[in-house]
Structure 1
Amino acid sequence: MNDTLHHHSAGPPTAPALLLGPSLGTSTALWDAVAPELSSAFRTVRWDLPGHGQSPVDLIGPGATVAGLGALVLDLADRLGLDRFHYAGVSLGGAVGLWLAAHHPERVDRLAVVCSSAHFGRPEPWRERASRVRESGMSAVVEGAPGRWFTPGFLDGEDGRLGHTLVDDLRHTDPQAYAACCDALAACDLRPDLPSVTAPTLVVAGREDPATPPAHAREIADAVPGARLTELAHTSHLAPAEQPDAVLAALRDHLGAPGPGRGMTVRRAVLGDAHVDRAQERTTRLTAGFQDFIARYAWGEIWTDPTLSRRDRSLVTLTALVAHNHLDELALHVRAAVRNGLSPEEIGAVLLQSGVYVGVPAANAALAVAQRVLAEDGPETR
């Protein structure tokens, strides 16, 4: 039997650890748009609440408390060998972070509390919600979730895909575990503990958050010694999904993480999010320096130089890769060339000209790679 919280780790194993806590009804996916970038500087550990995502249901029961959830997180940290860690959490996950920082200050280096509260209002509404879910299942809360979680229109926009994933996570959450987490929220009152928090603390609020309004964040920031408050405009309850860039910037600044600057933006635009996310997920102690180097130098200085267009840079890059027979990298940059506006015919012409100057065998191998890549990516690029 699995007796610990499900978690997802990424980043260099020896880098400073950063635990990322979820909101009620969500999963590790809540941090999908933020965690990959943080993984270049931290060993990120995202965890699921009991009965949420892939965490076991039997880790929680009626009458659960935030302290009990905090104990599960400490057990996870112990199993991973994390004596100290940074912590950032949303809503219920943020309350868990406050409890950890107040009751186990020796474990928490820096704390970020996102769209959360030290006291989630009167207990009766939470107990009523728990009762409805126990009786009727998750359908009792799924329909109203988008209105609590996101600003109007977010799910219909280009960035709404993650929002739909999170709503689907809620639909598949175990009702009994969800209800038990409601019990924990009903009983939560961390206000007396706030003055004892010694970890440097950042409090983030969404100005349009109906679940934990900015007044809740201000209460935390006023009571925790030295805490800083950031309010995000046009943001509701699940800020890491709705405003990932703003949350990422705030966390980088608070945690002291180096920022990749414009280079990472260009790298994603040219190579695509999927490739960059995979590279960040695979970052190790050995490769972390190289990932930082290419983000800052190759992408932050060379590819951002306006002297040549991205299209021109793709032409040069394809030729150089053919000349040195870097076929794996060539496949990546054939896709990038299409993204930068080159047609398959123009890519073929570049590879043909390369054959004249660097050799027919090299061009022949390159054409085979390009043919495979363009065929895999669909008829619109063939």
Structure 2
Amino acid sequence: MPLPLVVVPGMLCDASLWAEVAFPEGHDVHHVALTRPDIGVLADDVLDAVAGPFVLVGLSLGAIVGFEALRRAPERVAGLCVMATNAAGPNAEQRFAWEELDELIAVGRFADVVERTLPDMFPDRRPTPAGAERYRRMAQAVGPTAGRVQLAAQATRRDAFTALRSARCPSVVLSGSRDALCPPAFHHAIAEALPHARLRELPDAGHLVPWQRPDAVSAALRDVVTAAAAAPAP
């Protein structure tokens, strides 16, 4: 049986993030929404999405949830494709920023939060008008309640490098060369920690890699499922 894919988006993103990505034919695809305020519980949602081994695909916060799933059940993660992310634990500056965003949502200013986060989604923080409008529509579809839940989950993150060093699955790490939020250095560190990883830096891509380079994401997924199918069982 072909391995299923469990796909997890980033903060203020939904399954439309992957609309232009060509998932490998013959593989079931399961999208997991970020609707719980704790990384560990979200990791359990990922593990509960399918029975048996699977290929995990995650962007940004979704990849961080994937790292926790890998920590909890490494034998279940047969392949890993992560992008636009950070495996380090949160710092004080990040925690302050998340608290500030949460306070804005709490007083009804979700639209302001969307505008604050919008530039970081695009290469060099310079969105096109069409890209900006698409992001606004997606973030509004996710909504303020889920936004607050996701901010709470961010605060429960922890350093994932120990789990990455113990991984035995084939992995691809994708980095946008112009990602201002999660720059290439973050991805070099992730790829160095994963024993069986390939790092691909994508020219002209920012944070929303599946929008900006769907071809590269599609190719990475094909490579991961092929390598995972050929790998010995744990």
Same fold (TM over 0.5): yes
Aligned equivalent of 2:28? 43
Superposed displacement of residue 218, structure 1: 1.4
2:32 pairs with 1:76: no
Of 192, 205, 226 in structure 1, the residue corresponding to residue 162 of structure 2 is 192
Superposed displacement of residue 89, structure 1: 0.6
Contact kept, 8 Å, 2:119 with 2:126, in 1: the verdict is: no
Letter matched to residue 232 of structure 1: L
CA distance in 2, matches of 1:155, 1:28: 21
Of 59, 66, 87 in structure 1, the residue corresponding to residue 39 of structure 2 is 66
CA distance in 2, matches of 1:223, 1:167: 35
Corresponding residue pairs, total: 222
Contact kept, 8 Å, 1:133 with 1:175, in 2: the verdict is: yes
Secondary structure, counterpart of 2:169 in structure 1: coil
Of 153, 177, 180 in structure 1, the residue corresponding to residue 149 of structure 2 is 180
CA distance in 1, matches of 2:17, 2:201: 19
Of 167, 175, 181 in structure 2, the residue corresponding to residue 205 of structure 1 is 175
Superposed displacement of residue 232, structure 1: 0.7
CA distance in 2, matches of 1:140, 1:154: 16
Letter matched to residue 12 of structure 2: G
CA distance in 2, matches of 1:120, 1:239: 22
Q: TM-score, normalised by structure 2?
A: 0.85
Contact kept, 8 Å, 1:209 with 1:237, in 2: the verdict is: yes
Superposed displacement of residue 19, structure 1: 1.2
Aligned equivalent of 1:18? 5
Superposed displacement of residue 153, structure 1: 6.2
CA distance in 1, matches of 2:59, 2:126: 22
Contact kept, 8 Å, 1:118 with 1:188, in 2: the verdict is: no
Aligned equivalent of 2:185? 215
Aligned equivalent of 1:128? 100
Aligned equivalent of 1:10? none
Contact kept, 8 Å, 1:27 with 1:169, in 2: the verdict is: yes
Letter matched to residue 31 of structure 2: R
Contact kept, 8 Å, 1:210 with 1:236, in 2: the verdict is: yes
Distance 1:253 1:49, change over 3 A: same
Letter matched to residue 218 of structure 1: H
Letter matched to residue 209 of structure 2: A
Superposed displacement of residue 69, structure 1: 0.6
Bigger relative CO (Cα 8 Å, ≥ 6 apart): 2
Superposed displacement of residue 164, structure 1: 3.5
Q: Return the structure number with greater helix share.
A: 1
What are the residue-to-residue correspondences of 1:112-127 with 2, within 5 Å? 112-119=81-88, 121-122=90-91, 123-127=95-99
Which runs of no fewer than 5 residues in structure 1 stay unpaired? 1-13, 51-59, 258-382
Computed over aligned residues only, the root mean square deviation of the Cα atoms, in angstroms, reads 2.1
Aligned equivalent of 1:287? none
Q: TM-score, normalised by structure 1?
A: 0.54
2:103 pairs with 1:103: no
Superposed displacement of residue 97, structure 1: 1.3
CA distance in 1, matches of 2:24, 2:147: 29
CA distance in 2, matches of 1:90, 1:120: 16
* Worse overlay, 202-211 or 221-230: 221-230
Calculate percent identity across the aligned residue pairs. Answer: 30
Of 60, 63, 82 in structure 2, the residue corresponding to residue 91 of structure 1 is 60
Aligned equivalent of 2:232? none
What are the residue-to-residue correspondences of 1:286-301 with 2, within 5 Å? none
Aligned equivalent of 1:27? 14
Superposed displacement of residue 176, structure 1: 3.1
2:110 pairs with 1:138: yes
Superposed displacement of residue 154, structure 1: 5.4
Superposed displacement of residue 180, structure 1: 2.2
Letter matched to residue 167 of structure 2: V
Contact kept, 8 Å, 2:82 with 2:172, in 1: the verdict is: yes
Letter matched to residue 46 of structure 2: V
Secondary structure, counterpart of 2:31 in structure 1: strand
Q: Deviations over 1:145-204 (max 9, x none)?
A: 3311122665346xx4xx633421212333232122112222312233322222222111
Secondary structure, counterpart of 2:152 in structure 1: helix
Which runs of no fewer than 5 residues in structure 2 stay unpaired? 228-234
